[in-house]
Structure 1
Amino acid sequence: MWLVEDCPVLSGIYNAIPYYMCFLLSLLIFLSPIDPTRAAQDFTAYRLAQYDIQGSITGSRTAALSCDIQIVSTRTYARRCPIVKLAEITVEGIKNAIFNNAGGIIVLLPSDNWTDELRSHWHYLETELKSEEFQIPVYFAIENEYSKSIYDDLQNMSHDLDQSAGSGIWDAIFSTGYRVYINTPPSVPLKNAELVSIEGKILSNSFDIKKPTVLVTAYYDAGGVIPALAYGADANAGGVAVLLEVARIIGQLTDAKNSPKYNIIFLLTSGGKFNFLGSRRWLEMNLEDTAGLAILDSVVQVICLEGLGANFDDHLRLHVSRMPRDGSFSQKLVSTLELAAKLHPLSDSYLKRPLDNETQIEVVHKKINVNQYDLAWEHERFSLYRLPTATFSAWPTPSIYKYRQSVLDGGPLSGRAAPSRGYWGPVKPEILARNTRVLAETLARLLFDFAPDSPSAEAFSIIDPSWVTATSSAAILDFLTMHPRSLQLLAASTQTSSTAASSNGLDLIRSLEQHMRSILPEVKLLRHPLSRPAAASAAGARAGSDSVDKAGTDAGEDVTISTSSQVPSMAAAAKEVEITLYSGVAPQVVTVYRLKSSIFDLVIACSIGAYLYCLYFCLERFHLLVRLVAHLTNNSGKKLKAY
């Protein structure tokens, strides 16, 4: 290297190499087409539900995701994640992606502007997804500005690649792509999952089991194929809001001097979207001890609440499994409901047509098909245990509201009303408050034995309209619909968990308990196992089967028994069914990296290797380079000092 020291020009070049390298790297970073602030972006995604029912596997079986993303095209999906819009996705498309070894699927859901056609498509897709199993992670994301730009970039890239073979290869090397990454632990079964019920009683000095008992119940969980987007506005936040408001009013009317003639129990249950499993566990719990049996024996009416937040056709309905007998409490309930509906009419702004003198209460009779596992109404669960029951609802049929188990029943996809903090969906607080007044008026007249024959009975109402207003109903509705309430999240919240969604589920249960304690004198938090042990399950199934067999004789309940060759050994509706829920359905943070393709990385690696080899060769053979420079210099007529 002595020649470099004696030659100022070569010495300058040699000393400038490190600075040149730093400048070159900085220049490359500065001229890079990728904005460092946009190289990685985050947004929220919601995983498809995962659960097992009686060995039937449903939903997405994996949660972690790390692969390149592309739009739906004719190109292969191998180890890639297709990102598709809702209008483009079908169950067959998902199965085709799985067949082509896709790493996962992300479906973009519209943030607004849900057309009737798109709603129908989603309803059909949601129904199909409930009966399918997918071995890859399936996520849903609500469209935002960033996800739209990613989709548009991928669409343009796909169009350029399809133009021609030559340019396609060039674009495949130098184009910018995206890689999605979801860091979440594997989904595992929720062991010892629990169903939590909240039971409140109104006492007159003490709860007298000799008195007849009225049970008012509603389930508080929500359903949908995306657990983290299941908010359940009309099914069943509206029912829970009515129950809480009625409990508050009846509790305020009760004191030592004004005790009701009936015991009254207010019951909030979970598992409503899994065939009213919470109600079943509460019944089984009471069948296991003497005090519980005494309470069940004293029940003269069970009133289930659901679908009370919207007006379908200006009528309210009492759905029953058997028509009320003359002189029974159920018959008094119907007649008192008719009077209460007249005393608290629906506002003209919400009426669909003039009612004149037409009755606003309709009794709907539907038989129970005990050989069908899924029950239509919650009151049918109590009917199987020979209790006189009914469901108070605005729905004409259980299937009239097609979003009953859909994520479109409230939640971010249905939008948020202007004055609300929660997601009300189709629920109107004014209608909810009116229906609450109707039920509160009915129960007040029946529980306190208000003389129906007095001259003022039909002229004046017991419940003042100011006691239940749209504002008070909206406040409870906001509380119930601010966070998702799927059973998977609620069950996970009862176990040790640090996720925000699980914390919200636990906070919901605690807040409901505290609210009921503030309005009722005696409140209990009851925990039931999601799945019972084999021996207990068999005993419970036999008890349910026996109750079904006696339903038509002892209580006169109407049931439908199929005689087909597929009749099970015991009533399907009463049979114990094993349910397994899984973790990992809480909202996940999706990180999308903007980067070059893998081919580009290979080309760059080869180029850097060649550059470093050339640099190494030049430094190792620097004396040859000096001779070459000297030779060229001498040829130009200049003299170079000989060494």
Structure 2
Amino acid sequence: MAASCGRRRGRFAGGGGGPMMASIYSMVALVLVLVACVELGDAAAAVDVYRLIQYDLAGSPFGSRLASLNHHAGAFPFAPGADLSRTAVIIPVRELDLSFLRDYITNSKPLGGLLLLLPQKISEKIGQVRNILAEVEHLLLHANIPYPVYFAYEDDKVEALLMDIRRSDIAGQPATATTGGFKLVVSSSEPKKVTSPTISNIQGWLLGSKGEGDANQLPTIAIVANYDTFGAAPALSMGSDSNGSGVVSLLEIARLFSHLYSNPNTRGKYNLLFGLTSGGPYNFNGTNKSFSDVAKEMGVTLGIKHKKINVSNSRVAWEHEQFSRFRVTAATLSELSAPTELLESAGGLHDTGKLVDEKAIYRSVKLVAESLARHIYGHQGRNIDIFADNSNLAVNPHYISSWLNLLSRTPRVAPFLSKNDPFIAALQKELSEHTVEVHVQHEVLDGIFTFYDSTKARLNVYQVAGVTFDLLFLLVLGSYLIILFSLLVITTRGLDDLINIFRRPPSRKSKAV
């Protein structure tokens, strides 16, 4: 009896080791399968993308309301009536059909997502691409878009991806969960409101000659330019022309007059206030002598636009109207004959350094500087060239070019500039080189605007297989595991035990007999 019990224990112990080893082998096989799946899931490409701005104006939502993206890619053009509700559409701007985009936006047709590809150099087709970008921005900025919209620059990697997607579409295999293809994935949390966005105004003084009175009693001339921008993609809103050209002009004028005001003999009877303001696109939230004589001498056509304003209305068209509301004589110098609408032409995607005419900035600086100097020193009507070329007071084109280059590489959308942003510090430092009593004033942006973060992300492109491949893979994997399990049972417990596993168990009636 004891021996019999011993044999049973021995067999039970041996049988317990077999299943344990089988479990270990199965776990090892599972790990190898998972590693293989991870290798198969590596991204085919990774691209920096820039999200369409998301903001609220007086409580109304505008811009892209989502940031995360996880859909199969499809390349423009598409068949009429195609269902794109689960497709991330890729369109190069240079090939964009505006009617397609306008139809989907104005009629609120569903898209899985939208990726617009920007050319590296807009200057190659200045007129065509610039007009398309301006129209695209207008459509996107003033619409409530319930899907993620991103921008990316074209490069070899992106163009190769686009060719592969189009090759699949031509073969009659558009990317879906069934056929596979490429998948665009942006892993991003839900955008959050930018809390208490601030605008920073920088100002510096050149104090006039005191004479017998106090310098504070002297009349003051203020030269003001807004430095911030606004566009469809905050991370790409460089605003080289609007209003980088204005910032460059102000800094150069400050530099020129600092030479005159540093000498007591050439210091004028006016205080000069130089102000770099923020909030320009948002109704100029941070912010008198005509130039006709000097303009005529320089061959510049100058037109004067008179416009009545309602001082009780806080909505203004031109920056100088903010001064006029407080009964301060002011004027705006602009190449535009009419004001733009709110949030329009404020440094968008098409406003790049390649399209700015530095010679025009040079002429504008000289026009303003000469006109101010003749007014300050009483030389109106005299053909006196105070800032003559090749003189110590000449306008410096290298200074203009270097600052314009910096501004053309620096996005400056006010709600995303912190108080301690290096760019604001750089402006303050530069103004301190030419003026005195420089300080920065921080104010909260107008409450009718609400902005959201998540302006830049990383797009991962995955090449995925279709359902047919998945089924075949599962079939092969299942067969492999069954064979592996059978071999483990045979080697550890014998062929009889393997057969018993698949044998039909006896009925209760047979057991009773």
After superposition, give the CA deviation of every residue in 1:413-454 in whole Å (9 maximum; x if it has no partner).
xxxxxxxxxxx243222221122112111112222x23447x
After superposition, give the CA deviation of every residue in 1:347-384 in whole Å (9 maximum; x if it has no partner).
xxxxxxxxxxxx74332223336798753311122222
- Give the 3 Å change call, closer, same or farther, for CA 588–271 of structure 1 in structure 2: same
- Give the 3 Å change call, closer, same or farther, for CA 60–599 of structure 1 in structure 2: farther
How many pairs were matched up?
451
- TM-score (structure 1 length as normaliser): 0.63
Q: Which secondary structure state, in structure 2, belongs to the residue aligned with residue 592 of structure 1?
A: strand
* Residue from 142, 146, 150 that aligns with 1:131: 142
Question: 1:604 corresponds to which letter in structure 2?
Answer: F
- Give the 3 Å change call, closer, same or farther, for CA 172–270 of structure 1 in structure 2: closer
How far off its partner does 1:265 sit? 0.7
How far off its partner does 1:241 sit? 0.9
Question: 1:56 corresponds to which letter in structure 2?
Answer: S
Q: Does 1:362 align with 2:316?
A: no
Match of 1:508 in 2: 423
Structure-2 separation of matches of 1:474 and 1:66: 43
How far off its partner does 1:59 sit? 0.7
- Give the 3 Å change call, closer, same or farther, for CA 521–115 of structure 1 in structure 2: closer
- Give the 3 Å change call, closer, same or farther, for CA 373–205 of structure 1 in structure 2: closer
- TM-score (structure 2 length as normaliser): 0.77
* Residue from 358, 365, 385 that aligns with 1:461: 385
How far off its partner does 1:507 sit? 1.5
Contact 2:311 2:324 (8 Å CA) reproduced? no
- Give the 3 Å change call, closer, same or farther, for CA 452–142 of structure 1 in structure 2: closer
Structure-2 separation of matches of 1:369 and 1:597: 64
Structure-2 separation of matches of 1:277 and 1:599: 59
How far off its partner does 1:205 sit? 7.0
Q: Which secondary structure state, in structure 2, belongs to the residue aligned with residue 191 of structure 1?
A: coil
Structure-2 separation of matches of 1:606 and 1:95: 47
Q: Does 1:110 align with 2:119?
A: yes
Q: Does 1:253 align with 2:180?
A: no
* Residue from 104, 111, 128 that aligns with 1:93: 104
After superposition, give the CA deviation of every residue in 1:266-304 in whole Å (9 maximum; x if it has no partner).
11101111111111xxxxxxxxxxxxxxxxxxxxxxxxx
Is there any run of 5+ residues in structure 2 with no aligned partner, and where? Answer: 1-24, 500-513
Question: 1:468 corresponds to which letter in structure 2?
Answer: V
- Give the 3 Å change call, closer, same or farther, for CA 78–433 of structure 1 in structure 2: closer
Higher relative contact order (CA 8 A, sep 6+): 2
* Residue from 374, 378, 381 that aligns with 1:450: 378
Structure-2 separation of matches of 1:269 and 1:602: 62
Structure-2 separation of matches of 1:119 and 1:202: 40
- Give the 3 Å change call, closer, same or farther, for CA 37–425 of structure 1 in structure 2: farther
Q: Does 1:591 align with 2:460?
A: yes
- Give the 3 Å change call, closer, same or farther, for CA 523–480 of structure 1 in structure 2: same
- Give the 3 Å change call, closer, same or farther, for CA 159–57 of structure 1 in structure 2: same
Match of 2:436 in 1: 521
Question: 2:419 corresponds to which letter in structure 1?
Answer: T
* Residue from 604, 610, 616 that aligns with 2:485: 616
Q: Does 1:476 align with 2:403?
A: yes
Structure-1 separation of matches of 2:378 and 2:308: 33
**After alignment, is 269-278 or 250-259 more displaced?**
250-259
Match of 2:449 in 1: 579
Q: Which secondary structure state, in structure 1, belongs to the residue aligned with residue 469 of structure 2?
A: helix
- Give the 3 Å change call, closer, same or farther, for CA 67–599 of structure 1 in structure 2: farther
Match of 2:63 in 1: 59
Alignment of 1:172-187 (within 5 A): 177-187=181-191
- Give the 3 Å change call, closer, same or farther, for CA 50–247 of structure 1 in structure 2: same
Structure-2 separation of matches of 1:404 and 1:71: 29
Q: Which secondary structure state, in structure 2, belongs to the residue aligned with residue 376 of structure 1?
A: coil
Q: Which secondary structure state, in structure 1, belongs to the residue aligned with residue 333 of structure 2?
A: strand
Q: Does 1:235 align with 2:242?
A: yes
How far off its partner does 1:151 sit? 1.8
How far off its partner does 1:36 sit? 8.3
Q: Does 1:46 align with 2:42?
A: no
Q: Does 1:203 align with 2:207?
A: yes
How far off its partner does 1:522 sit? 1.6
Match of 2:226 in 1: 219
Q: Which secondary structure state, in structure 2, belongs to the residue aligned with residue 278 of structure 1?
A: coil
Q: Which secondary structure state, in structure 2, belongs to the residue aligned with residue 528 of structure 1?
A: strand
Structure-2 separation of matches of 1:617 and 1:94: 59
Contact 1:437 1:465 (8 Å CA) reproduced? no
Structure-2 separation of matches of 1:91 and 1:451: 55
Match of 1:430 in 2: 359
After superposition, give the CA deviation of every residue in 1:75-116 in whole Å (9 maximum; x if it has no partner).
5445442223331451432577x754x442212233344464
- Give the 3 Å change call, closer, same or farther, for CA 278–519 of structure 1 in structure 2: same
Q: Which secondary structure state, in structure 2, belongs to the residue aligned with residue 605 of structure 1?
A: helix
Is there any run of 5+ residues in structure 1 with no aligned partner, and where? Answer: 1-17, 163-167, 280-329, 347-358, 412-423, 496-505, 532-576, 629-643
Q: Does 1:440 align with 2:365?
A: no
Q: Which secondary structure state, in structure 2, belongs to the residue aligned with residue 589 of structure 1?
A: strand
- Give the 3 Å change call, closer, same or farther, for CA 372–230 of structure 1 in structure 2: farther
How far off its partner does 1:478 sit? 1.2
Contact 1:52 1:580 (8 Å CA) reproduced? yes
**After alignment, is 614-623 or 377-386 more displaced?**
614-623
Contact 1:409 1:425 (8 Å CA) reproduced? no
Q: Which secondary structure state, in structure 2, belongs to the residue aligned with residue 407 of structure 1?
A: coil
After superposition, give the CA deviation of every residue in 1:193-235 in whole Å (9 maximum; x if it has no partner).
1110001111147773322111110101122212122111221
- Give the 3 Å change call, closer, same or farther, for CA 408–84 of structure 1 in structure 2: closer
Question: 1:615 corresponds to which letter in structure 2?
Answer: L
How far off its partner does 1:521 sit? 1.6
How far off its partner does 1:55 sit? 1.1
How far off its partner does 1:133 sit? 1.0
Q: Which secondary structure state, in structure 1, belongs to the residue aligned with residue 216 of structure 2?
A: coil
- Give the 3 Å change call, closer, same or farther, for CA 598–46 of structure 1 in structure 2: farther
Structure-2 separation of matches of 1:391 and 1:437: 16
Question: 2:318 corresponds to which letter in structure 1?
Answer: W
Match of 2:151 in 1: 140
- Give the 3 Å change call, closer, same or farther, for CA 438–117 of structure 1 in structure 2: closer
Contact 1:403 1:409 (8 Å CA) reproduced? no
Structure-2 separation of matches of 1:512 and 1:229: 20
After superposition, give the CA deviation of every residue in 1:331-358 in whole Å (9 maximum; x if it has no partner).
xx22xx2333355x36xxxxxxxxxxxx
* Residue from 419, 429, 432 that aligns with 1:494: 419
* Residue from 181, 186, 192 that aligns with 2:196: 192
Structure-1 separation of matches of 2:380 and 2:105: 62
User: Cα RMSD between the aligned structures?
Assistant: 3.6
Structure-1 separation of matches of 2:398 and 2:185: 44
- Give the 3 Å change call, closer, same or farther, for CA 123–209 of structure 1 in structure 2: same
Match of 2:169 in 1: 158
After superposition, give the CA deviation of every residue in 1:176-208 in whole Å (9 maximum; x if it has no partner).
622223233432111121110001111147773
Q: Which secondary structure state, in structure 1, belongs to the residue aligned with residue 355 of structure 2?
A: coil
How far off its partner does 1:611 sit? 2.4
Q: Does 1:81 align with 2:88?
A: yes
